[in-house]
Amino acid sequence: MSNTTGMANLNLTGDDGTVPTEDEVNPWEVHASSATGVDYDKLIKRFGSSPIDSALLSKFETALGQPPHFLLRRGIVFSHRDMDQILALHSQGKPFFLYTGRGPSSEAMHMGHVIPFLFTKWLQEAFNVPLVIQMTDDEKFLWKDISLETARSYTTENAKDIIALGFDPERTFIFSDLDYIGSSPEFYRNMCRVQKAVTFNQAKGIFGFTESDCIGKISFPAIQAAPSFSSSFPQIFNSRSDIPCLIPCAIDQDPYFRMTRDVAPRIGCPKPALLHSTFFPALQGCQTKMSASDANSSVFLTDTPKAVKDKINKYAFSGGGATVEEHKKNGGNCDIDVSYQYLRFFLDDDQRLEKIRQDYSSGELLTGYLKKELIELLQAFLKSHQEKRKAVTNEVVKQFMTPRKLKFDY
């Protein structure tokens, strides 16, 4: 996956320096035309997905007997395809599985990469279902100027971070494309089925490929489609091809799965359902382009407490007034304040978050307070994460990445 990270490459200007009039959202670039970021309502209409409304949230609560995750309640996971069908299946005691992924483009993952995985972990626990996590190291090799060996090594490093988030080893299979495609004739057969069902013209229309793109890029979408089908994992699903799939991912990955859903019935497989999340803003603000190579644009999982403090204090874009007086008078703007936006993603206490929102908007709280709150929260998260990651040995990675039976009692 190019960008299942939830972190977006946000840019006010297009590649040619002009200001685009419409948001551009695809797996390789995200341009927001507005300073407040991508217009997600428009995106739902353009992509033809469905908004997650209060009726669906109620169905979640009924199906699970617990309130939906705060990322759902807060509209960060904001759009879906066929989620109502998945909830109905669950209520009938019928099986499904989760599929998400990560494009391992570097050793370092940042906080934005973590969000979809934390949400996926919640889904796994709430529904008690198997999960497959695709590491698209082949894609990163094709798109970037790196060797296969480097791409594969990023998979291992990223897998350690993912595992450290606490996935259940009995229900989770993490796989490197570079290893698993060469270990699973059934996965390769599904790649072939999808590759036969999509023309260059269609791939060009969906992904914007050009004739100068390498043939690996052009056929890659089939590789990201294949894990949507349970027959790609005969060792998990007892060779059944009819187990439906739910894909939690950032909305920029939707083109892959629109294509997959179009192809699925033609190859006799169920269409995957989807849950879409919004993008995680860069420190510099919703419209700033985030760069993994720019250490100042994001908080990395390897950052020290001091680095976190310095970055937030120095770079986190403020929605507050220019002076204390002005701030007290007009209040802060939560919509563009990066610290507040980050708290929405990480602070699970609804009441506390709402209080912060009110007090910041009224001008009572200064930006400094929000930053302090966020710094403490991130420092605690990272301290805990870094300890857990140390415990993830190569042996543990091997356990998660070995093709094997998972707990799946159907």
Question: Rounded to the nearest 5 degrees, what angle is found at the Cα of 44, between the Cα atoms of 40 and 50?
Answer: 125
Region near a second copy per CB under 8 A, out of 215-223, 280-288, 369-377, 378-386: 215-223
Helix, strand, or coil here: 174?
Answer: strand
Minimum separation from the CB atom of position 28 to a second copy (A): 16
Minimum separation from the CB atom of position 135 to a second copy (A): 14
For a second copy, the binding residues in 164-183 under the rule CB under 8 A are 178-179, 181-183
Dihedral sign (CA 21, 24, 30, 32): positive
DSSP 104-156: --SS--BHHHHHHHHHHHHHHHHHT--EEEEE-HHHHHHHSS--HHHHHHHHH
| Minimum CB distance to a second copy smaller for 242 or for 376 | 242
The tokens of 97 are what? 């599985």
CA-CA distance, 105 to 119, in Å (whole number)?
Answer: 21
Minimum separation from the CB atom of position 97 to a second copy (A): 20
Minimum separation from the CB atom of position 187 to a second copy (A): 6
Q: State yes or no: residue 142 binds a second copy (CB under 8 A).
A: yes
Minimum separation from the CB atom of position 237 to a second copy (A): 16
Answer for which of 27, 95, 101, 221 binds a second copy (CB under 8 A) is 221
Taking the CB of residue 395, how many other CB atoms lie within 10 A of it? Answer: 7
Minimum separation from the CB atom of position 249 to a second copy (A): 21
Answer for which of 41, 53, 58, 185 binds a second copy (CB under 8 A) is 185
Please give the size of the binding site for a second copy, defined by CB under 8 A: 38
β 29-31/24-26 pair status: antiparallel
| Minimum CB distance to a second copy smaller for 218 or for 246 | 218
Answer for which of 29, 138, 252, 254 binds a second copy (CB under 8 A) is 138
Q: State yes or no: residue 213 binds a second copy (CB under 8 A).
A: yes
| Minimum CB distance to a second copy smaller for 59 or for 102 | 102
Distances from the Cα of 229 to the Cα of 72, 79, 410, angstroms: 25, 22, 17
Q: State yes or no: residue 141 binds a second copy (CB under 8 A).
A: yes
Contacting residues for 227 by C-beta, under 8 A, at least 6 apart: 99, 101, 132, 134, 187, 233, 245
Question: Rounded to the nearest 5 degrees, what angle is found at the Cα of 135, between the Cα atoms of 131 and 141?
Answer: 165
Q: State yes or no: residue 196 binds a second copy (CB under 8 A).
A: yes
For a second copy, the binding residues in 225-254 under the rule CB under 8 A are none
Dihedral sign (CA 248, 254, 256, 259): positive
| Minimum CB distance to a second copy smaller for 5 or for 232 | 232
Residues in the chain: 410
Does an H or E element contain 303, and which?
Answer: none
* Cα of 385 vs its chain's centroid, Å: 18
| Minimum CB distance to a second copy smaller for 212 or for 351 | 212
The tokens of 117 are what? 């995985």
Answer for which of 21, 65, 211, 351 binds a second copy (CB under 8 A) is 211
Contacting residues for 352 by C-beta, under 8 A, at least 6 apart: none
Region near a second copy per CB under 8 A, out of 135-143, 246-254, 292-300, 346-354: 135-143
| Minimum CB distance to a second copy smaller for 209 or for 315 | 209
Minimum separation from the CB atom of position 292 to a second copy (A): 21
The tokens of 268 are what? 């006799």
Binding site for a second copy (CB under 8 A): 138, 141-142, 148, 178-179, 181-189, 192-193, 195-201, 203-204, 209-216, 218-219, 221-222
